[in-house]
Amino acid sequence: MPVDLQALYPRLIHLMLDTVFVVDRDNTIVFVSNACEALLGYPASELIGTPITRYMHPDDLDATKASIIRVMNGQPHFDFRNRYIRKDGGVVHILWAAFWSDEVGARIGVARNVTALTQAEEELRFLAHHDPLTRLCNRSLFNQRLAAALQAAHYHQKPLALLFLDVNGFKAINDLYGHALGDRVLCAIARRLEQCVAATGTVARMGGDEFTVLLTGSATPAAVSEKMGQILAAMAEPLGDEFGGLAMPSCSIGVALYPVDGQDADSLLSHADGDMYEKKRRRYAAG
């Protein structure tokens, strides 16, 4: 016997993992499929008869209203993303396909939860410019910021400073205590550098146990000397009990000042690196 598709359609809609919304021209929800409870935390009975705009993330409201106008003007939208606030207060990222039906007199939309996908995309974008271990800027982003800072310094005739920091004896930490603990030490150093630099510059991990600091807020010789003292004092603070009694390693810091030590990125990095290794050499020579 032939299949009664008309009778089957409502069941199919409620079986869908994506959520189907039907919204009238006043933005009132007139129908929503059962999947909405997993998506927004509300059963259908609580949503029907309420304005759909009530659940939209306030930061996405203007863009969403613009999309609604587009759809109601006969331009279907198959790739619109926005955020909604769940019943429990959480935020869900949604991918929409929607069109306006003159026959029904309503906007019909299918909503897919893409929160995990969005978070993965954001993480990939972050990792393109940041070190995955310490979450500091990586070499690529640091070089971009250094180039921009040099242009600004040249234009405004203001100094800037570049610090090159190397952790003394870090290889021994990895060899004696293992790379897992060594990684935790690097993260501790990263957080201390961030606290010292704050909004006055940029901290980056260049690789291994080498870090750079770009100071643009106040880069006079006196201010740079004071900042280096602050960093060395922060690095001298002992590690917490969770490090099993491991002593905080010392650091050697080289410095280069623009424009006296170089007028381009390569010369400044080379000068700061050379200054750091000279201080490290004198440290080991002194015993």
Going by C-alpha positions, the residue among 248, 250, 249, 243 that lies closest to residue 181 is 243
Burial of 244 (0-12, 13-18, 19+ CB in 10 A): exposed
Euclidean distance between CA atoms 165 and 232, whole angstroms: 10
Three-class HEC string of 192-221: HHHHHHHHHEEEEEEECCEEEEEECCCCCH
Chain centroid, CA 271 distance in Å: 31
Please give the backbone phi and psi of residue 26, each rounded to the nearest 5 degrees, phi first: -95, 10
Residue indicated by tokens 């190397």: 166
Query: Which candidate in 166, 209, 273, 275 is catalytic?
Result: 209
**CA pair distance 255, 268, nearest whole angstrom:** 9
CB count, 10 Å around CB of 30? 16
Residue with tokens 């020579």: 285
* Dihedral, CA of residue 34, residue 37, residue 43 and residue 44, to nearest 10: -40
Q: Residue 102: what are its φ and ψ, rounded to 5°?
A: -65, -35
Can you tell me the distance from the alpha carbon of 212 to that of 134, in angstroms, rounded to the nearest whole number?
Answer: 13
Residue 209 annotated to the active site:
yes
Active site residues: 209
